[in-house]
Amino acid sequence: MLSLASLQIGLPRSIGMEDTSDRSWTTGFFKEPVNKPVWLGQTNLVGDGQADLKNHGGTEKAVLAYATEHYLFWCQVLNRSEFPYGAFGENFTVEGQTEASVCIGDVYQIGEALIQVSQPRKPCWKISQRWQIPDLALQVQKTGKTGWYFRVLQEGFVEPNQFFILRDRSFEQWTIARANEIIHHQIDNTEAAMELGACPLLAPKLQEMLLNRALKSVK
């Protein structure tokens, strides 16, 4: 069964000091687990926020999900005894699903909320900064273990250990794994980019980016 193993929230905060070797940076990456119902609105969970609103947050990135399955992999690869859930900045740590089995446009009921998969996550430098591993963001991207975003179709309370109920799957051909290959690795080049860019349930900015890429390649 597909379930919410852990739920994390956190507001932006500044890390480091300008007069030390640790350059000051502001981030909403640090998420703490909560064990009570949390209201999920159109743009985020109550008590959650992002520092860089140009590249994070908003209706198309209301909730970030990450698979529990990936945690053992990263512990082994990075030679760590453990990573706490939320270590990759996710709000929803999801058990029973990975990028290979979740699709663009999937609609899920969880608690009172209705949510829809909008796009893969593009890992940013703050993953590397958080764990002091310079190439961690690149490793996340290359492995395809990126996580994915949800948009909110119906607001409501959600809480840990609830089950996700699949209500609709319109684009089973567009798994997050497949989308990652096209977006990040440009697999199958022009035709694939154009086909994915035409998916109406993909986040609009990614649709535009992919269609522009395809048009440029045919000129």
pTM of the entire predicted model: 0.92
pLDDT digits (tens, 9 = 90+) for 169-213: 999 999 999 999 999 876 657 889 999 999 999 999 999 999 998
- Greater confidence (14 vs 9) lies with 9
Architecture of the structural domain at 3-171 = Beta Barrel (2.40)
Domain parsing of the chain, residue ranges:
3-171
Three-state SS for the chain is CCEEEEEEECCCEEECCCCCCCCCEEECCCCEECCCCEEECCCCECCCCCCCCCCCCCHHHCEEEEECHHHHHHHHHCCCCCCCCCCCCCCEEEECCCCCCCECCCEEEECCEEEEEEEECCCCHHHHHHHCCCCHHHHHHHHCCCCEEEEEEECEEECCCCECEEEECCCCCCEHHHHHHHHHHCCCHHHHHHHHHCCCCCCHHHHHHHHHHHHHHHC
